[in-house]
Each structure stands twice: as structure tokens, then as C-alpha cells.
Structure 1
Amino acid sequence: MKYFSLLLLFSAICFSGFTQNKDAILGKWINSTGEAHVEIAKKGDKYFGKIVWLKETKDDKGVVKTDLKNPDESLKSRPILGLEILKDFVYTGSKWADGTIYDPKSGKTYSCNMTLKDNGQLNMRGYVGISLIGRSEVWKRVK
């Protein structure tokens, strides 16, 4: 029994080193194309992200960029800057899952998982249906 307790304690210590801080993704991130900064924040036990900076806030005619590709006609006039594009992520112990990511360039919403890599970069995996069928990109923390 003494050895079992010692083994259990050792296992708990080892595994605690592998778990991430659930709030480690909080803050500002730059997307893979460098066109936007997204600030990830927490509301209750869920994580959300909104666009807080755009490389170009206006189109070539000088008009503020809006959500023109949104399939909901009533949302097409909302500005891209300030748009919440990450919604409802929950921390599972190794990743932030069960959330969605909205792509204002296409007007589509995808299921999404986020994983913080050892190098501090954020791996974003957007998909339809199952995670195997999708696209990944890497975001970097804004300094």
C-alpha cells in the first residue's frame, strides 16, 4: 500500500507537468497572414476571440470593411474590426475545443480546436464534420 501511494503521488506530479494553464491562450494573437490581431478573452468557463486590429480597415474606395460575405443579410453591414470570430471554446486539459471560428473572407463558420504548442504558438484547426477534414494555421502571440 505504501508503494502504491508513492506511485500515485509520483504519477500526479509527472502528469501535472504536461497539463497547460487553461488561461494560457488569453491575450492578443496575430493570424497566419498577418492581416489581423485577435484578442482571446474568457467569459465564464468559455473562451472567445474578437478582431481588435486590422492591417487594412478600409477597402480600396476608403469605405470601412464590413462583413459583406455573411450569409445573414442583417449582419453584412457590421464592421470587421471588433467582430467576434472565435466562440464557445472549452478547455479540455490539453486543448481548447468545441468552439467555432468565423471566416469573414468567406462568410463561413467552422468547428475549431486550438492547441498551444511548446514554442508558444497557437495551432488553429478549423473543420467541417470531423477534425481530419479541415485546415490548420498557426497564430503567433502579439508582442
Structure 2
Amino acid sequence: MPRPHRLVPLLAWALALPAFAASPDDAKGQWLTAEKDAVIEFKACADKPGALCGHIVWDKDAGQPNDTCGVQIARLERYENEAWRDGWVFDPRDGKKYKGALRVKSGDLHIRAYIGTEILGQTEQLRRVTALPASPVCKR
């Protein structure tokens, strides 16, 4: 039988777990793509404050013909089980919309795009940034 003094740290750790649970606001902010070629800002949708929308706010190709500044890449309707769900994500590389899920894990944002069921999808991991790169500047 475990000694009581050994259970105290374990019990304290277990009680602290809920404090680290993800919240819907964890995804809000600016995130740099894995390729470091764009920054996406996630915030409440202007037309539906309970939903989460993502727009490209910095693109390494700003001002070029393939500029994606201002493109909306996500709209997720609800937050459940530590993930934003029930919506879509747009991949500007292939010009297609997919079902989507978005969650924050270990400080990184994971965007999952899929057709049919989430388990068959593909995930992109983004890192939070506190400021946009100085140039080029999106004009939209």
C-alpha cells in the first residue's frame, strides 16, 4: 500500500490538471505556417462572434501575382472537446475547401483538413508569433 506522503504530490498534480485545459481563446492570435511563408490571424468571425475565422495577414509573396493577403482560410462554428469544429479550412495552394478541425497542443496550433472523417485528414502545425515580419506588407 502506498504511503500517504507519496500520494500528496500525485493528488496535487491531478487536481491541477483542469487548470491546463485548453480554452476556445487559445487559438486566437497570429500563427506562422510551418513553411514560414504566411501568418494567419484567428479571431471571432465578424458576422458570427461565436465562430472562429482565420485570415492571412502576412504573405511572403505580398504584392506578387500569387499574393494571398486577406484570404480567409478557415471558418469553424463551435468549440467542443478542446477543438474548434464544424466548419471548413481552405488551402490556397490547391484552391480547395476541406472539413476542418483546429486545436492548440503544447503551444502550437494544429489545423486538420479532411474529407469525410477526421482520422483520414492531414495536419499542419503552426507557431504563435507576436508580430508580423517587417516586409513584405499585405496591402488588403
Report if TM-score (shorter chain) is over 0.5. Answer: yes
Question: TM-score per shorter chain, which class?
Answer: 0.7 to 0.9
Aligned residue in 1 for 2:83: 95
Counterpart of 1:4 in structure 2 is none
Q: CA deviation at 1:97?
A: 1.2
Q: What is the SS of the residue equivalent to 1:24?
A: helix
Shift of 1:14: 6.0
Give the structure 1 partner of residue 66 of structure 2.
65
Tell me, in whole angstroms, the C-alpha distance in 2 between the residues paired with 1:51 and 1:29. Answer: 9
Which of 115, 120, 125 is the matching residue for 1:138?
125
3-state secondary structure, aligned to 1:96: strand
Which residue among 32, 35, 40 is the counterpart of 1:33?
35
2:52 matches 1:50: no
Q: Which runs of 5+ in 1 are unaligned?
A: 1-12, 67-79
1:18-54 alpha-carbon deviations (Å, 9 max, x no partner): 5322111111001111111000011311000000000
- Do 2:23 and 2:82's aligned partners in 1 also have CA atoms closer than 8 Å? no
Describe how 1:76-91 pairs up with structure 2 within 5 A. Answer: 80-91=68-79
Deviations along 1:67-120, one digit per CA (max 9) or x if unpaired, are: xxxxxxxxxxxxx210111113421141111221111111110111111112x0
Ranges of 4+ aligned residues in structure 1 off by more than 6 Å: none
User: What is the TM-score when the length of structure 1 is the normalising length?
Assistant: 0.71
**Unpaired segments ≥5 residues, structure 2:** 1-14, 131-140
- The answer to whether the 8 A contact 1:30-1:140 is kept is yes
